[in-house]
Structure 1
Amino acid sequence: MEDSVLLKVNGREFGGWKRVSVTAGLDRQARDFELDITFRWPDRAAIRDMIRPGDSCQILLGRDLVLTGYVDATPIRYDAGQISVGVSGRSATADLVDCAAINEPGQWNARRVEDIVTDLAAPYGVHVCTEVNTGPIVETYQIDQGETVFESVDRLIGMRALLSTDDANGRLVLTGTGRMRAITPLILGQNILSADAPLNWKDRYSLYLVKGQGIGDDSSVHAALSVRAEAHDAAVRRRRVLFRKQSGDADRSSARLEARWEAASRAGQSVKTRYTVQGWRQADGSLWVPNAVVMVEDPVIGLSGEMLIGEVTYSLGDTGCLCHLTVAPTGAWELKPETTQKRGDGPSALTRPGETLLNF
């Protein structure tokens, strides 16, 4: 069955779940699930003996694997007439979220980002998948004592504006935004059942100003030492200015990238919208997935054009199979660009000064 939900644990398969929620997204490094089923006494109440916290598991929607990880909890609720049994858990990458980085001596020299991340994840048996170019060799990197694996990973890849997330196989994934394209558009009046958009602009500004200090030379001391860049959000009509002081050896190019990132990220976050559609699959039968670019036409909220799916929740309940999709402009999930390394003035995925993301 295309919309069946199967939990595999200890070589056994469990179906017939009445309530299901599986969530994956760019803002989380371990996807999670909750399953629930209700029986009449005493039918199959012994399921609690078949599935225990700590068991390895897989979740399949139809034939599609969507999660590989471990059972966290097996809650039980009952009354005089029935018993409700639940199972919840997370991706195998949850151990990297929860547990300390324990590598010894915990220092790397002249290594690639993906090599360091692979070493960090190895003690917990988590494999690493790299989908993008991670940039030049890292000259030196050291664990901060007490930090978790993912805290260390994020500190490392934050220098390269990479994203860390997971996949259906329970691997840690190093990636960038918009790696796929959705087949089916989201169109008001066609497949959108409902929408929820806070449209909160309190963190948006009309002007983003970045200043810093560079290393000058005798021929151009003023130009090199005084670095200034700005980006504008034309959708913010009153004067609101945000100032950022750039650390490290600043230059005009890196300051410009940081200003553009502030504008694009804050604008994108302000219009994050959660859409609900019927079913878990697109028109071609493939599942809706995070990190896919989707065309959105919603004149009520004001979104028109390509957006990025940042999070997907597959749910099953009284209203049947639903998919909840959190979308926003790509800038909402762009990471802050590295500012301590010289950059060229090549094209950027971030918003150019003055670009308006909304379509009111």
Structure 2
Amino acid sequence: MMSALSTVSEFVGYDQTPSNAVSITVNGYQISGWNRVSIRMGVDIMPWTAMLETTLYQPDQQVSVDIPAGAACVLSIGGDTVLTGYVQSVSEELTPQEHVYRVAIASKSVDLVECSAEFSTYQMNNTTALGIAQQVCKPFGVAVSAVGGAGDIQIQQFSVILTETAYEVIERVCRLAGCIFYDQPDGSIVLSPVGTTVVSGGVRQGVNMERMVSLSSLEGRFSDVQAIIQNPAILFTPPADGDKLSQQMHAQTAPAEASASDPGVTRHRPLLIPVELGDADYSIARKRVQWEVARRYGRSQATEVTVSSWRDTSGALWRPNALIPLTRASSTRTDLLLGEIELVQGEDGTHANMVLMPSSAFVPEPLVLPAEQNEATAAVSRD
């Protein structure tokens, strides 16, 4: 079917520069010779996936290798591991002109996304976000690490819903910890702050940039975001005059003193968000309104670029959650976070398609810790 890699030079390149030769190791075979490759990775993408395509039989090699669905595998580019996981599916396409063989691969986190979480106890006390993530991943053989202190926050009480997937548990606990999580090449996942590294060289117009599409949008953005204390009577009774409405709104918002404005939205577009139960000093509400403005702005400023290489100027593969210096022809530089990348290889060569956004687009939403919510509920019950 495909050729097994036979020489070291195919890994590192004949001139000792990193190679872009794609191979997978499965059932003891290391297999290359793919005609088309697509590898998709990202901060918001789990699992990372790959699609490999070739003809079923290569006469010059006189060899056929079976790749069964469900087999464990490792995908590499040159000497760099990119994805560790499983063969999800194998398909064949037969036409009078060709016989195409396609292999779909997903990282080990696919089981976290699709399977229900399993615990010896569904309520955990006095642990950390990292500890909870490690416990939920353990049955699936997925290791969890942390960088930059992510996941160190103490969580007094955390309850798992019986029907939740492992991914949903981790997503919820990472929001509590104020960090993000994503796949790693070795099949593990990592808890991390947003934008931990800056890549070498970056993307430069006229150098390695082949295409760029930039977006600046007002969709989903608001002129003012205000936290409001929830009250069953609010706005239920029409005011007798206009002043009573403003008085009522002032009474519901003034105690929290939590508001933020987006200077890029010039017309009146207000957004009210509730103060969470347990946010006694309104500190989370004040963070939340700032987060709403920053994240909505970040998501509205997306830049899609295609570059001519899978690697930065140091020879390292592009990785999600890295800050990419984007330099235009005018020499204007902007550091944007690599949120999603697709590495593609085919008849038209090797390219990397990137989605870049401001770092604020990926910062998790601030939440009140569960123990604080429980204490507030108990206080209400006692009153």
Q: Same fold (TM over 0.5)?
A: yes
Q: Residue 161 of structure 1: CA displacement?
A: 1.6
- Kindly provide the CA deviation profile for residues 70-99 of structure 1, in whole angstroms up to 9, marking residues without a partner as x: 000111001223210010111011111110
Q: Residue 46 of structure 1: CA displacement?
A: 7.6
The structure 1 residue matched to 2:226, chosen from 209, 213, 232, is 209
Q: How does 1:109-124 map to 2 (within 5 A)?
A: 109-124=125-140
Tell me the residue number matched to 1:27: 44
The structure 2 residue matched to 1:236, chosen from 265, 273, 277, is 265
Q: How does 1:186-265 map to 2 (within 5 A)?
A: 186-212=203-229, 226-250=255-279, 251-265=281-295
Q: For 2:58 and 2:81, how far apart are their aligned partners in 1? A: 32
The answer to whether the 8 Å contact 2:306/2:352 transfers is yes
The answer to whether the 8 Å contact 1:177/1:334 transfers is yes
TM-score of the superposed pair, with normalisation by structure 2: 0.80
Q: For 1:285 and 1:174, how far apart are their aligned partners in 2? A: 25
Q: Residue 249 of structure 1: CA displacement?
A: 3.0
Q: Residue 55 of structure 1: CA displacement?
A: 0.4
- Kindly provide the CA deviation profile for residues 95-152 of structure 1, in whole angstroms up to 9, marking residues without a partner as x: 1111011212222111122122111111111111111322432212221011110111
The structure 1 residue matched to 2:363, chosen from 334, 337, 340, is 334
The structure 2 residue matched to 1:10, chosen from 27, 31, 48, is 27
Q: Residue 174 of structure 1: CA displacement?
A: 1.1
Q: Residue 211 of structure 1: CA displacement?
A: 2.5
Tell me the residue number matched to 1:80: 96
Q: For 1:95 and 1:43, how far apart are their aligned partners in 2? A: 38
Q: Does 1:96 align with 2:112?
A: yes
Letter in 1 for 2:264: A
242-251 or 2-11, larger mean C-alpha shift: 242-251
Tell me the residue number matched to 2:344: 315
Letter in 2 for 1:68: T
Tell me the residue number matched to 1:52: 68
The answer to whether the 8 Å contact 1:5/1:15 transfers is yes
Structure 1, unmatched stretches of 5+, are 214-221, 343-360
Letter in 2 for 1:75: S
182-191 or 93-102, larger mean C-alpha shift: 182-191
Q: Residue 209 of structure 1: CA displacement?
A: 1.5
- What is the DSSP-based 3-state SS (H/G/I as helix, E as strand, rest coil) of the residue aligned with 2:132? helix
Q: For 1:206 and 1:136, how far apart are their aligned partners in 2? A: 33
- What stretches of structure 1 move > 6 A for 4+ residues in a row? 40-46, 222-225
Letter in 2 for 1:309: L
The structure-2 alpha-carbon separation of the partners of 1:39 and 1:89, relative to structure 1 and needing over 3 Å to count, comes to closer
The answer to whether the 8 Å contact 2:322/2:338 transfers is yes
Q: For 1:339 and 1:227, how far apart are their aligned partners in 2? A: 15
Q: For 1:146 and 1:170, how far apart are their aligned partners in 2? A: 24
Q: Does 1:324 align with 2:353?
A: yes
- What is the DSSP-based 3-state SS (H/G/I as helix, E as strand, rest coil) of the residue aligned with 2:176? helix
Q: Does 1:183 align with 2:200?
A: yes
Tell me the residue number matched to 2:323: 293
- What is the DSSP-based 3-state SS (H/G/I as helix, E as strand, rest coil) of the residue aligned with 1:228? coil
Q: For 2:254 and 2:370, how far apart are their aligned partners in 1? A: 16
- Kindly provide the CA deviation profile for residues 250-295 of structure 1, in whole angstroms up to 9, marking residues without a partner as x: 3343222111100110011011121100010111111111111122
The answer to whether the 8 Å contact 1:41/1:83 transfers is no
Q: Does 1:126 align with 2:142?
A: yes
Letter in 2 for 1:328: M
- What is the DSSP-based 3-state SS (H/G/I as helix, E as strand, rest coil) of the residue aligned with 2:121? coil
Q: For 1:335 and 1:268, how far apart are their aligned partners in 2? A: 12
Structure 2, unmatched stretches of 5+, are 1-12, 14-18, 231-250, 372-383
Aligned CA-pair RMSD:
2.7
The structure-2 alpha-carbon separation of the partners of 1:10 and 1:142, relative to structure 1 and needing over 3 Å to count, comes to same
Q: Residue 299 of structure 1: CA displacement?
A: 7.8
Letter in 1 for 2:127: R
Count of residue pairs brought into register by the alignment? 334
62-71 or 176-185, larger mean C-alpha shift: 176-185
Give the percent of matched residue pairs that are identical in Structure 1 and Structure 2: 27
Tell me the residue number matched to 1:351: none
